[in-house]
Amino acid sequence: MTNATHRALQLLGLLQSRDTWHSRELADRLEVSERTVRRDITRLREMGYPVDSDRGTDGGYRLGTGRKLPPLLLVAEEAVALVACLRMGATNGGDLLGEAALRALMKIEQVMSPALRTTTSTLNAATHALPRRRAEISITLLQELARAQQDHYLVRFRYRRADGEETDREAEPHRLMTQGALWYLQAFDRARKDWRVFRLDRMESFHVTSWQFTPRVAPPSNFEKDLCELYSCTLRVEIEATEQQILHRIPAPYHAELEVTPYGCRFLVGANRWDDLAWHLLWVSRDLGRPILLPDSPEAAECRDAMKRIAANANEIAQG
């Protein structure tokens, strides 16, 4: 490889790393003159790479969009990290996202150097993904939400709650988030005049409007505020245990709701069914060897009934 070709690839890598570069900055990074930078920019354009330029004190060079996708120039650590993330996406579900991740993984591994391919093969052999079922998400939905968030366009969709109730929503998208195998959208709900977190797999009839909005200052991107929105069965319980003991045994979304009391700890839990919530609380109680205190509320009565059903089933099995 000639010095000019090697330098052109270095220049392409720099242009990929950020939006805009001034000629002087590129010359300093490549240790050449600004005139040489201009010649290399011309060479890249002749090779089909769309490099745009703006004149003036605030101008500079940037990699534009075009029909040809420039090659990704990755160092070893970046390549291994990319392969690891794509493999997680490919093995955590059989939906369109998983299939796209698998195709991208195959393409990247084909163009890797032998040394990098050996490293990633070792990583693949040393890891195993536990089977899990992931809610299917449309790639188009993710792309449209990302563009609407970036350009500040209102979105409308029909949303299905955990209890099956469906409502029409108009929202200002702020941030896409993931937790476990699920995708969420943090957005400002226009009708409710408050922030909400929506599960993407519960969205239907989604479309981006032509109306723009002025971005608001969003609260911290947590899931606790919307626990009642995520689950149809929620309950605040108390158990005689230390804060650390509870933190190790309840899912991360409930940590912010944990409250230390004279008795022990009080925390919020949720599930889609009362039987599932009852099973989880019984497991925590058995694991710690401590009783759980339920409040006097209609929700607690539902949970007690679920525990009675579990006890009756266990007793029937034990008696043969």
CA distances for 21 relative to 14, 49, 71, angstroms: 8, 16, 19
Cα 182 to chain centroid, rounded = 8
Query: Given pLDDT bands bounded at 50, 70 and 90, which one contains residue 102?
Result: low
Query: Given pLDDT bands bounded at 50, 70 and 90, which one contains residue 64?
Result: confident
Q: Is the pLDDT of residue 320 over 70?
A: no
Nearest by Cα to 60 from 37, 80, 83: 37
CA distance 310 to 282: 10
Q: What is the model's pLDDT at position 224?
A: 47
Average pLDDT of the residues in 13-26: 82
pLDDT, the chain, mean: 79
Average pLDDT of the residues in 288-310: 90
Lowest mean pLDDT among 22-31, 202-211, 227-236: 227-236
Q: What is the model's pLDDT at position 1?
A: 45
Average pLDDT of the residues in 207-236: 76
Collapsing DSSP to helix, strand or coil, 262 comes out as coil
Query: Given pLDDT bands bounded at 50, 70 and 90, which one contains residue 179?
Result: low
Max Cα distance, the chain (Å):
89
Hey, which residues does 259 pair with through a beta bridge? 266
Average pLDDT of the residues in 66-73: 53
Q: What is the model's pLDDT at position 308?
A: 92
Q: What is the model's pLDDT at position 108?
A: 72
| Domains assigned to the chain | 3-63 (1.10.10.10), 76-126 (no CATH), 141-216 (2.30.30), 231-318 (no CATH)
Q: What is the model's pLDDT at position 67?
A: 42
Q: What is the pLDDT of residues 240-276, one digit of tens each?
A: 888 888 877 776 656 666 888 888 888 888 888 899 8
CA distance 23 to 21: 6
The burial of 63, by beta-carbon neighbours within 10 Å (0-12 exposed, 13-18 middle, 19 or more buried), is given as: buried
Query: Given pLDDT bands bounded at 50, 70 and 90, which one contains residue 215?
Result: very high
Q: What is the model's pLDDT at position 115?
A: 73
Query: Given pLDDT bands bounded at 50, 70 and 90, which one contains residue 93?
Result: low
Structural tokens at position 241? 């245990």
Q: What is the pLDDT of residues 146-170, one digit of tens each?
A: 889 888 999 999 999 877 889 999 9
Q: Is 90:105 a contact under the CB 8 Å cutoff?
A: yes
Q: In sequence order, what E strands does 153-258 have?
A: 153-160, 166-179, 182-189, 194-199, 203-212, 233-239
Collapsing DSSP to helix, strand or coil, 294 comes out as coil
Instruction: Kindly give the residue spans of alpha helices, DSSP state H, lying in the chain.
Output: 3-17, 23-30, 34-46, 76-91, 96-110, 114-126, 139-151, 227-230, 243-247, 274-288, 298-318
Average pLDDT of the residues in 227-241: 79
